[in-house]
Structure 1
Amino acid sequence: MMSDGQEGLLRIALQFDKGGSYARGIVAGVGQYVRASSLDWRLQLITPAEAQMPGLVWDGCIGDFDNRPVFDALASHQKSVIAVASACSAAAQCPAQIPLVMSDNQAFIALACDHLMQRGLPHLAFYGRPRYVGMAWAEEREDAFRKQVGSMRMSTHVFSDGAMRDATTAQQIVLNDLARWLRAIPKPCGIVAVNDSSAQELLQACAAAGLSVPDEIAVVGIDNDEVAASLSRVEISSVVQDTERIGKIAAQMLHACLRRTGPMQTRVHVPPARLAVRASSMYLQGTNPLVTRARAFIVQFVGHGIKSDQVAHHVNVSRSTIERLFHQECGCSVHDEILRVRLDMAQHLLKGGKLSASEVAIRCGFRTLQYMHVVFKREVGCTPSEYQAQRSGHGVEQKLSAG
């Protein structure tokens, strides 16, 4: 270790799953701290197998406490180690001398529930995929939901209650059970999904059960998972984990340990960064059933270039009738609502940074790229390309050197 003011090149191991967005955000946060502090750290991502090799040489490590056997192998090296965990229950298991950074699942649930209540939804429910049974972070989120809803003296609706399902249950059986559960719970209902993969599954089940999203079932996921979002026709509202902040705090703790000044805290809970509000939770309280059906149709088919006449035809009323109802309920025309949903979808896709502006225009149902350009300049104040550069430019380039 280096004393204060004498820091040199240090080899820092980062033990996380390379493929997940959770891990990528943490690693990005570590990189941000290293660059901001002008540290000469050689960062190296190591696999679980490498972490357990006796010949591994490093000066400090930030590791995933959720993979306990691998983390214990790292801790046995008697070097400076910082633990990162997806559940606060890890605090009871992690040795007191090892600093620990934890995701605040209770805060995730509180943010999701508050959003659904503010939208005017009278009922709340919770869904977690059976494959997550027994996982600490999933159980912590479900328990937090029960406590949150209980404190509001509302009835609790949880899919797992009375359902004998686990990770071995066939997917179609789960979806059939889920559809039955969705039909039975009181509506309109806001459902908090344990993560975005569960939220995407909920939306599939709603489609199978003939339920409108978000007007009968509004959905909020957790983790802001781009993969799950890409699989869903309706964009998923999601609680965004502050993974970069987790990485920065872990790196700050490790820096203090390496300088022998000790971490400022040995147990830190990290709340969510924000709630990304999208179509799946945009419930409008007191909406006329015809407007409910029309809005659900718009959300589902906005990428097909639908027009106001098609919306009126879908709900089997005249164009003038649906326009009058939209002005009464939403304060806008059908065309304005189509454009709003189309623009929201385009902004979300542009922020992802994986599609060109031309591809986004096609996917969102704009007639041409030029038309999307005009709409963005008028409504957002910049071009689609400028918007994409502003929103995706914050991404951190991860410079991970070999050991």
Structure 2
Amino acid sequence: MTSTSPTPDSGPQSSMESLRTRRRIAVLVQTSSAWSRQVLAGVAEYAMEAGGWDFWIEPRGFYEQIEIPQTWRGEGVICRLTSEDLVRQIQQRRLPAVNVSWLGEHSPTVPKVVSDEVACGQMAAEFYLNRGWHFFGFVGPPPQLNYSDKVEQAFVDTLAEAKRTVKRFDHEPSTDTITIGQEHPKMAEWLMGLPKPVALLVWTTAIGQEIALFCGQIGISVPDDVAILAVELDPLVSAMSPVPIAYIDQSPRRVGAQAAALLESMIQGAPAPDQPVLVPPRRIAERMSVDNLFVEDEVVRKAMDFIRDRMAEPIQVTDVASHVAISRRVLENRFDKALRRSPAQVIRRTKLAHAMYLLNETDLTVQEIGYQTGFFHQETFLRFFKRESGQTPTEYRTSANR
């Protein structure tokens, strides 16, 4: 019998060769926030398509200083540039590196791939202007955290073009956290002094959640008196808020994927780009914290509150009319005059927005989401969602998480 020699691309030796060709990449990014984890998911997706990378990564919190381990040896770094020490470590090891954070400066040593800050501020301002808001506020990060003010400046500049001004909340000099837990007295004074209704742009979902909770404690209605839009997503914190917090969808997975692609090109010898790579935000993810339609008609406002409170029930226009003690025809006329929409349209819009929120930010099944929006038969919910959004629930969930 003639023996057969192993082919060059088979057997243990080729497996070891394959392992040696995989990129070894350090990921120096916090893992405590949903935004960062989405960035990391984008990095992982690119790496998988590229044949697989071997990552060095450790669970990290927002306030931790991250360093390259002394014993680690690899070919590149994707980081949140939290300190000059980290820059020096990257330079000393002559490692290609890409920064995915708004912290730090773009440089040939550590170029940036980040969400477009200016576009985020502009998008927030245009969203509020298109909704008819006239008064605006901004709650940013404390200056000690050293973030740039590009989002705020773009927000202010875009509103200035519409002859609108922005009231800024000034943090206490000693504040060094991305929450407002130690600033409640000052925040209460600031909120009470704002003209109402007012539209706020806030730095984090955590700040938005605290403001929503605080407004309830001092008798201010969200979103009727104060609308809240967060720059950065955290669905868990949003779910724990008295009302879900709207946010700017910065497309963090795309940030991660493009950062990984740039790192790969730099490892192969390409120079860093002269300017930061800016990823445009996708949309405003609307949630109840901005779900306000301006009406002076108290009956219509009462009807809208009833619709919001009963979104998990299969309510009809007749139920709304009965609640406000007027006929269906009168209710429809008042809605048309106040909103240029029918009560039925507002019911559908409210249910659709809540379904989109649950699809995007929870792991509930489509059937469970149907129940929570007042549809006891899945087929009815599927037809409703497709008709109102142009997508099936599954298609929407997939596209929202890209």
TM surpasses 0.5? yes
Alpha-carbon distance in 2 for matches of 1:357, 1:286? 33
Which of structures 1 and 2 has the bigger CA Rg? 2
Describe the shift of the 1:202–1:311 C-alpha distance in structure 2 as closer, same or farther (beyond 3 A).
farther
Cα distance change, pair 75–355 in 1 and its aligned pair in 2 (3 A)? farther
User: In 2 relative to 1, CA 109–305 (structure 1 residues): closer, same or farther, beyond 3 Å?
Assistant: same
- 1:184 to partner: Cα distance: 2.6
Q: Match for residue 25 of structure 1? A: 38
The separation in 2 between residues aligned to 1:99 and 1:138, in whole angstroms, is 16
Q: Does 1:247 align with 2:256?
A: yes
Quickly say closer, same or farther: Cα 1:206–1:244, change in 2 above 3 A.
same
- Out of 217, 221, 224, the position equivalent to 1:208 is 217
For residues 43 and 179 of structure 2, the distance between their equivalents in structure 1, rounded to whole angstroms, comes to: 39
Q: Using the alignment, how far apart are the partners of 2:349 and 2:242 within structure 1? A: 16
Query: Comparing both chains, which one has the higher relative contact order based on Cα–Cα distances under 8 Å and sequence gaps of 6 or more?
Result: 1
Q: Which secondary structure state, in structure 1, belongs to the residue aligned with residue 46 of structure 2?
A: helix
For 1:4, the equivalent position in structure 2 comes to none
Distance in structure 2 (CA, Å) of the matches to 1:317 and 1:17? 54
Q: What is aligned with 2:21?
A: 8
Change (3 A) 1:236 1:124: same
Query: Is 1:154 aligned to 2:164, yes or no?
Result: yes
CA 1:356–1:39 in 2, change beyond 3 Å: closer, same or farther?
closer
Which aligned pairs between 1:135-146 and structure 2 lie closer than 5 A? 135-137=145-147, 139-146=149-156
Q: Which amino acid aligns with 1:205?
A: F
Q: In 2, Cα distance between the equivalents of 1:379 and 1:301?
A: 19
Q: CA deviation at 1:152?
A: 4.4
* Cα offset, 1:124, TM superposition: 1.5
Cα gap change, 1:221 to 1:376, in 2 (>3 Å) = same
- Please name the residue that 1:318 is paired with: 326
CA distance in 1, matches of 2:352, 2:309: 14
TM-score under structure 1 length normalisation: 0.78
Q: CA deviation at 1:325?
A: 1.5
Q: Deviations over 1:3-26 (max 9, x none)?
A: xxxx93321221112232222222
Q: Percent identity?
A: 23
* Deviation string, structure 1 residues 354-401 (Cα, Å, up to 9, x no partner): 11123323333444545534533554566xxx52255237757xxxxx
**Match status 1:387 vs 2:393:** yes
Shift of 1:332: 4.2
- Give the Cα separation in 1 of the matches to 2:70 and 2:57: 17
Matched residue, 2:96: 80
Q: Which runs of 5+ in 2 are unaligned?
A: 1-19
Mapping 1:124-203, distance limit 5 Å: 124-128=136-140, 132-137=142-147, 139-160=149-170, 166=175, 174-175=183-184, 177-203=186-212
1:45 corresponding residue in structure 2:
57
Could you tell me whether the CA contact under 8 Å between 1:351 and 1:388 is conserved in 2?
no
Listed as ranges, the gaps of 5+ residues in structure 1 are 1-6, 397-403
Q: Equivalent of 1:57, from 73, 76, 90?
A: 73
Residue number in structure 2 paired with 1:360: 369
Relative distance call for 1:388 and 1:57 in structure 2 (3 A) is same
TM-superposed CA distance for 1:107, in Å, is: 2.1
| Equivalence for 1:400 | none
Cα RMSD for the two superposed structures: 3.6
Q: Is the partner of 2:147 in helix, strand or coil?
A: helix
The SS at the match of 2:270 is coil
Which stretch of the first structure deviates more once superposed, 146-155 or 321-330? 146-155
Give a deviation string over 1:163-190, Cα, whole Å, max 9, x none. 7783589967744543443333222322
Instruction: Tell me which amino acid in the other structure corresponds to 2:398.
Output: S
Moved more, 147-156 or 245-254: 147-156
- The answer (yes or no) to whether the contact 1:191–1:219 under 8 Å persists in 2 is yes
Alignment of 1:298-317 (within 5 A): 298-303=307-312, 311=320, 317=325
TM-score between the two structures when normalised by the length of structure 2: 0.78
State the distance in 2 between where 1:195 and 1:332 align: 33
**Structure 1 CA distance, aligned partners of 2:259 and 2:124?**
26
Q: How many Å separate the matches in 2 of 1:395 and 1:196?
A: 18
Please give the alpha-carbon distance, in whole angstroms, between the structure 1 residues aligned to 2:282 and 2:77: 25
